[in-house]
Amino acid sequence: MSEKSINFDLVSDIYDVYVSSKLDIDFFLEETETINSPILELMAGTGRVTIPLLEKKRRMFCVDYSSGMLTELKRKTNSYQNAIEILEADVRFLKLDTKFECILLPFHSLSEILDPKDQEDVLISIYNLLADKGKFILTLQNPKIRLKDADGLIRVMGEFTLSNSRKLVVSYYNEYKKKQGIATGMQFYEFYNPKNVLLEKRYMPIRFRPIFKEEIDTFLDRIGFTILELYGGYDRSKFIPDQSPFMIFILGK
């Protein structure tokens, strides 16, 4: 994006160490099982979703704005060169000659775009890239659940083992500014040797804009999407507004 809400280039070399969730992988494998044409994955990052799909013989067209993250993706997918195309681009203005039978926006990434107009522009771009009988899988966090810990308190995300017996400790805090509709915060990265002596420390400012159910419904209706399914979790559970952690939309034209 022209204004990076989260500059992932700062942590692209260690991103895979602390972001390894497989919560949604089976869901995406099931949803793409019958797709034989290339799948468009937006905001693909280092390939957390991409690589499991490639391993199951999917063909991928991956887009992201972070050159650092895409460098990692290219390195990790070198053996899949005939099954993947990678593009560094701003998803708000994405224009391609191809229509896609399946488009993915994983890991709730639309919220990393801070302006509601830009969020809608992304959805418009996706609508224009979707084949007439195609499906778009849009994943969002449910702000009613997500914002419960946006209270300014520092929390430890986890401890992770690195090479040479080093350890990475990741912590973070979030604060939600209701008037602006933006959550701000910081993620901290501390590297320790086997004696727990601090070797290096990094920080990455983060900002995201939670999208509430009423607003995303307005976007989708205005653009012309049809809601085929709405799940509250990757287990395909029913969406319950005050309980479900996610809003997972299967959308068509």
Q: How confident is the model at residue 3 (pLDDT cuts 50, 70, 90)?
A: low
Burial class (CB in 10 A: 0-12, 13-18, 19+), 148: exposed
Give the pLDDT mean for 203-224.
98
β partners of residue 41: 62, 104
Half-sphere exposure of 171 (CA within 13 A, CB side): 9
**Would you state the pLDDT for residue 93?**
84
The pLDDT, as a whole number, for residue 92 is 85
- pLDDT category of residue 5 using cuts at 50, 70 and 90: confident
What is the structure's pLDDT at 133? Answer: 96
Report yes or no: 249 and 232 within 8 Å, Cβ to Cβ.
Answer: no
pLDDT in tens, 120-154: 999 999 999 999 999 999 999 999 999 999 999 99
Give the distance, in angstroms, between the CA of residue 122 and the centroid of all CA atoms in the same chain.
Answer: 14
pLDDT tier, 4 (very low <50, low <70, confident <90, very high otherwise) = low
- 3-state secondary structure (DSSP) of residue 49: coil
For CA atoms 98, 101, 107, 111, give the dihedral sign: positive
Band of pLDDT at residue 2, cut at 50, 70 and 90? very low
SS3 for 151-201 is: ECCCEEEEEEECHHHCEEEEEEEEEEECCCCEEEEEEEEEEECCCCCEEEE
Cα–Cα dist 209/111, whole Å: 5
Q: Are 224 and 253 in contact (CB under 8 A)?
A: yes
Summarised one tens digit per residue, pLDDT across range 46-102 is 999 999 999 999 999 999 999 999 999 999 999 999 999 999 998 988 999 999 999
Checking if the pLDDT of 223 tops 90, the result is yes
Phi, psi of 177, rounded to the nearest 5 degrees: -105, 100
pLDDT of 1 strictly over 60: no
Task: Return the closest-CA partner of residue 147 out of 179, 182, 117, 187.
Answer: 182
Give the tens place of pLDDT for each residue, 228-239. Answer: 999 999 999 999
- % of the chain beyond a pLDDT of 90: 96
Token pair of 79 as six digits = 């053996």
